[in-house]
Amino acid sequence: MQPVSPETTRPIALERFDTMDLARGIALLGVAMINVHAIARGWSSHYALDLADHSADVLVEYLVGMLFAHRAIPTLAFLLGAGLALQWQRSVRRELAPSVDPVAALRAKYQALLFLGLAHALVLWPGEIVTAYALIVLILLAYWPKPAPRVRLWLQIASALCVLSTLLFAILLSGGADAIEPIPLSASSFAERSMGAAQLLRIKEFLFYGLSQAVVFEVWCFVLLGLWLTQVGVLQRWLSGTLELKAWFRLGFAAFLLGSGLELLSAQLGGWGFASDVHSAVSLRTFGAPLAMIGSLAGLLALARAWQTTRLPRLRSFFLAAGRTPLTQFFGQSLIFAIVFNDSLIGWHGDMGRAAYSTVALISFVLLAGFARAWLASGHQRGPVEMVWMRMASWIERRGN
């Protein structure tokens, strides 16, 4: 694929971005359904598929595992990379004054996002990924925009590291390596009865569960993939309907089925939980997860593109509003979960089953998406947190000049 410059890439009407917003909104529902279990029960339990005692909990556990785990985060990472390239292309097409540097403007935005992510992590949700996303983009902006072959090389390196690390870990587990011990189940800072103790524990959790996501190869791969496909113009042509990628999407669906099958087999053998000591079963899960990531991205993008306004328009509008206000949705989820599950507040931490926790997450998403839909309908172009983000970015950019 040859690089397509922002000046020659055909502009896309605003409605063409609905596909990306829909995919992002659905992925945000997945993030809520996953995070609620880590917040409400404890670390190492939110991907457990440990076959709980009650049938409703078992069903919900499988649904969350098969629909969202290893599926929501890769989609958001891909859309982050794609959005970064689109922002740069739009800024160049606007015929900015010579004194305005598009890359400097982007750098200011993601510096502001870094501050917001840190505040979110230390006050509300220590497993948050916004900080990791901001760090990844700031690293990329030190070397990008560059010709597409350079980005393709980064993608190839990150993919190779991802494959090698996955194979090594899976092989070690398949042999029952004694050096790899199961991660013990531990309560999160939301279980602390005093706010002071919760804050001290939250810093440790953020370093281990949150900030570490900035060096995860899978996240880098999907960010770079979105960046590259947008920079060469493939994503724009697919969004506008001038390009069909049926063969690639079929391959993605096949990968999804194979990966999900391996994950289901792993769950049946008792090996999907981080706390599991069934090494061979965890090995199957390790092999299946990357395939499920690739396939779910292809499937979700295809679903979002096919979902026209005439099909379930009210449901579509919820996901669309959520996708257009992602920070408001993500931070809002954390705020609701903190109020509900922190022991120093309502304190439902560890008190209910997975079906009940998932219900809380679903209700929270609906409330926040409904708020976002009303907020946007009232004439606002951005969500409340997005508005704060843009004001912080403008202030940082002015200080830099």
Non-local (6+) Cβ contacts of 247 within 8 A are none
My answer on whether omega of the bond before 102 falls inside 30° of 0, hence cis, is no
pLDDT at 178 over 80: no
User: Which residues on adjacent β-strands are paired with residue 186?
Assistant: 43
Residue 400 is inside which H or E element, if any?
helix 384-400
pLDDT band at 325 (very low <50, low <70, confident <90, very high): very high
Residue 209: band (very low, low, confident or very high) from pLDDT cuts 50, 70, 90: confident
Kindly state the tokens that stand for 192: 């602390």
Report yes or no: 216 and 75 within 8 Å, Cβ to Cβ: no
| pLDDT tens per residue, range 347-358 | 888 878 888 999
Contact 219, 136 (CB under 8 A): yes
Ranked by mean pLDDT, the top range of 37-41, 67-71, 330-334 is 330-334
Does the pLDDT of residue 65 top 90, yes or no? no
Q: Shortest CA distance to 65 belongs to which of 231, 368, 268?
A: 268
Single pTM value for the model = 0.88
83 vs 89: CA distance, rounded Å: 10
For 138, counting Cβ atoms within 10 Å of its Cβ (0-12 exposed, 13-18 middle, 19+ buried), the class is: middle
Q: Distance between CA 219 and CA 51 in Å, rounded? A: 28
